[in-house]
Amino acid sequence: MAMRDETRMLLESMTRLFEDKSTKQVVDAAETGVFAADLWQAVAETGVPLAALPEASGGADAEWSDLFAVLRVAGRFSAPIPLAETMLAGWVAAGAGLEVADGPMTVGPVRPGETLTLAQDGNGWRLSGTASRLPYASHAARTVLIADGPDGEMAVALDGTGEARVTAGRNIANEPRDTLAFDGVRIAADAAAPLNAGVSKAALYRRGALARATMMSGALERALDLAVTYAQERVQFGRPISKFQAVQQNLAVLAGQTAAAVAAANLGIEALGKGDPARETFLIAVAKARVGEAATLAAEIAHQVHGAIGFTKEYALQLSTRRLWSWREEFGPDPEWAVQVGKAACANGADGLWAMLTAV
Amino acid sequence: MVTPMFRFDPVELPPEALALRQEVRAFIAEHQDVMGFFRSSFNRDFSKAMARRGWIGMTWPKQYGGHERSAFERYVVIEEMLVAGAPLSAHYTGDRQSGPNILRFGTEEQKRFFLPRIAAGELTFCIGMSEPNSGSDLAGTRTRAVKVDGGYRINGSKLWTSNAHRADYAILFCKMASDGQQEVDRHAGATQFLLDLKTPGIEIRPVINLLGEHHFNEIFLTDVFVPDSLLLGKEGNGWNQVTSELAFERSAPDRFLVLFQMLREMVRMAGPDPDKATAAALGKLISQLATLRSMSLSIAGMLQDGLQPNNESAVVKDLGTRYEQDIPVVARQLFPTEPELEAVETYVSMIARSTMNAPRFSIQGGTREILRGIIARGLGLR
């Protein structure tokens, strides 16, 4: 089915923006720890980071599917900004009626086992617990967290990182992954509120996984593009290496894995907002499992085709592959998600397997 | 981005396709006695029963016995039948590629004769491409046609022809004899004929496969006369036509659904609460299948829009055959057993049958290497 015109226009304009603003120089600079403020500003001006929010909260009621499509483009250009995190932070905070920030936001917890606790304290709250490896927390204008309150999960929105003890960290793509520890930090009454329907720590984790899967599908497109271009330029034995069948066959596999990754991420994206949590969970698990598998196979081939140049800092391939190797583990590695797919299928039973795959 | 990317836009099945799925499932339930696992069964009664429901030649024009339904509806019928292990052999080649190629290249007379009969489940087609010395290199065909009064005289042979011993017609791929001139263009003179397999001069010999089964054959053609009326398309246009036929062949979902029943048995054996390693291995296969299916649906969408998704079909076939060849490999790791073809226990015979059939998945309809060559060409490398 043809892509909607609005979606196509959005993607074209965002592609131009990232192409101009998320250059290798910008990503290299961001990797030294300096926030890519110009890039963020340009992206923020499009309204995309908060576009999914209702108009009343400063958003545009945009389709999540469109925003995830933008994440694929951001992944293609290794955009060193917390775009997915800001989208998700807005979703959690605005849903709970909390204020969102104009600037970059982070969101968490991003690890399934971690729990933050909110205890009543007079007319406010006290927040305890640790949220590890929050993306870009040290650069965030606002931190949005999901914590266990006395009556269930609640959203908490902090200016900056509030009064957390911050331990800076980073992933192997040098993207900030900072750990926030809260030791009974005092939170004002209006900075915490019950979650909106459909929002939960588990739902945040799923959407985070889908965001990474989608960004990876973009990074794979980039790796394929670089590998195909390089193979046509690099001459050995008197001809471009793209003329050797062994290289062609490898690139064909890379193209197939890339296409599968995009299709798998789209499966998860299409399931969003259909109002069927079980279906959404299953297809997001499929997406993260399949894209992670593709990332492993494809990164290997992209490097093999490039030879030694692809192993250098100077050449751009590593921007994509180091992100693939980071993102495939974040929000759960593909084997973990494959376990979820397998368990769901087995619990559903052999005779229901086909119905499960063909369900709307 | 400079590299052409293969597009697999997400597709949602229209309501009429969803309603049809329920009809097909009910039909399959009524015919449960003829369903099987991977036996490529030939059952003309079943084909006729499907034809009566309007499920052969579904997308063809009504004036030729078709039903003018969408590519999505056709997709649903085929995937349900494949998953059920329905005996499709008597009509499948005609429905999938011979009929569509006749529709595209045939004369009005040919369309009026062949298409309604295929759609009725009465006429079985087989493929006529491979030869003893021309497999992947189809342009190397040695079968030759010579123009004679009122038709053509053809000599040569065809190999690996599934169902030739039961089929009525083949679409024969060959070349016009070139009077000993040096061949400049390897595709020059390529021509297709609608070959009536009862024509004098045709001898069909069985080739028994490694399972001990008789599916494919060798066809010998000795001074076979084919009238002008059975030339398909144009003399010399055969390469273009056979490429189109292969595209129809490769765009079908039968490249990743034939072992579904085996995957289902593996889920059964894993039980409702499998250990982590088992769940991960099954989950990986199921994630691959779900992705393949969405890509294949997207191909149906491209067909519906009148596009020719040749590169995309090659991608899906390459990924699909890899996935299907992995199924028996994963099976023997999770649930080891000595394979027995005639075992009473379903899983044991399935692992035998799938292990023995697996090698052909990445050979038939274009080898893995040929498909990857097509993909590489699509990437602009060749």
Query: Are the Cβ atoms of B295 and A259 closer than 8 angstroms?
Result: yes
- Given a cut of 80, whether residue A27 has pLDDT beyond it is yes
What's the complex ipTM? 0.96
pLDDT for the residue numbered A273: 75
pLDDT for the residue numbered A1: 42
pLDDT digits (tens, 9 = 90+) for A55-85: 888 889 998 999 999 999 999 999 999 999 9
pLDDT digits (tens, 9 = 90+) for B73-89: 999 999 999 999 999 99
Question: What's phi and psi for A100, nearest 5 deg?
Answer: -105, 165
For residues B357 and B349, give the distance between their C-alpha atoms in angstroms, rounded to a whole number.
12
pLDDT for the residue numbered B251: 84
Does the CB of A270 have a partner CB in chain B at under 8 Å? yes
Q: Residue for token digits 């529709």?
A: B103
- Given a cut of 50, whether residue B130 has pLDDT beyond it is yes
pLDDT for the residue numbered B184: 76
pLDDT for the residue numbered B2: 65
Taking Cα atoms as reference points, which of A80, A111, A126 lies closest to residue A179?
A: A111
Q: Which residue of B has its CA nearest to A229?
A: B3
Mean pLDDT of B145-162: 97
Mean pLDDT of B95-109: 97
Local structure of B182: helix, strand or coil: coil
Mean pLDDT of B281-305: 96
Q: Given B293, B298, B371, which is nearest A357 (Cβ)?
A: B293
Mean pLDDT of A4-31: 95
256-285 of B, contacting A, C-beta below 8 A: 260, 263-265, 267-268, 270-274, 276, 278-284
For residue B17, how many C-alpha atoms fall within 13 Å in the half-sphere facing its CB?
A: 24
pLDDT digits (tens, 9 = 90+) for B302-333: 999 999 899 999 999 999 999 999 999 999 99
pLDDT digits (tens, 9 = 90+) for A145-177: 999 999 999 999 999 999 999 999 999 999 999
pLDDT for the residue numbered B180: 64
Mean pLDDT of A322-350: 98
User: Which residues does chain B have within 8 Å of residue A263's beta carbon, measured at their own beta carbons?
Assistant: 8, 10, 291, 294-295, 298
Mean pLDDT of B277-284: 98
Q: Is B336 exposed, middle or buried (0-12, 13-18, 19+ CB in 10 A)?
A: exposed
Q: How does the average pLDDT of chain B come out, rounded?
A: 95
Higher pLDDT, B348 or B182: B348
pLDDT for the residue numbered A56: 84
pLDDT for the residue numbered B183: 67
For residues B161 and A13, give the distance between their C-alpha atoms in angstroms, rounded to a whole number.
52
pLDDT digits (tens, 9 = 90+) for B217-235: 999 999 999 999 999 999 9
- Given a cut of 80, whether residue A3 has pLDDT beyond it is no
pLDDT digits (tens, 9 = 90+) for B166-207: 999 999 999 999 776 666 789 999 999 999 999 999 999 999
- All residues at 6 or more sequence positions from B99 whose CB lies less than 8 Å from its CB, including other chains: B57, B60, B114, B115, B118, B119, B125
Q: Residue for token digits 């890519």?
A: A36
Query: Are the Cβ atoms of B11 and A343 closer than 8 angstroms?
Result: no
Q: Which amino acid would we find at residue B12?
A: E
Mean pLDDT of B103-113: 98
Mean pLDDT of B335-360: 95
Higher pLDDT, B37 or A323: A323
For residues A85 and A88, give the distance between their C-alpha atoms in angstroms, rounded to a whole number.
5
- Given a cut of 50, whether residue B157 has pLDDT beyond it is yes
Q: Which residue of A has its CA nearest to B299?
A: A1
pLDDT digits (tens, 9 = 90+) for A245-293: 999 999 999 999 999 999 999 999 999 878 888 999 999 999 999 999 9
Q: Which residue of A has its CA nearest to B371?
A: A252
50-109 of B, contacting A, C-beta below 8 A: 79, 83
Q: Which long-range contacts (CB under 8 A, 24 or more apart) does B58-63 make?
A: B60/B99, B60/B100, B60/B103, B60/B115, B60/B119, B61/B103
Q: Given B11, B276, B369, which is nearest A1 (Cβ)?
A: B11
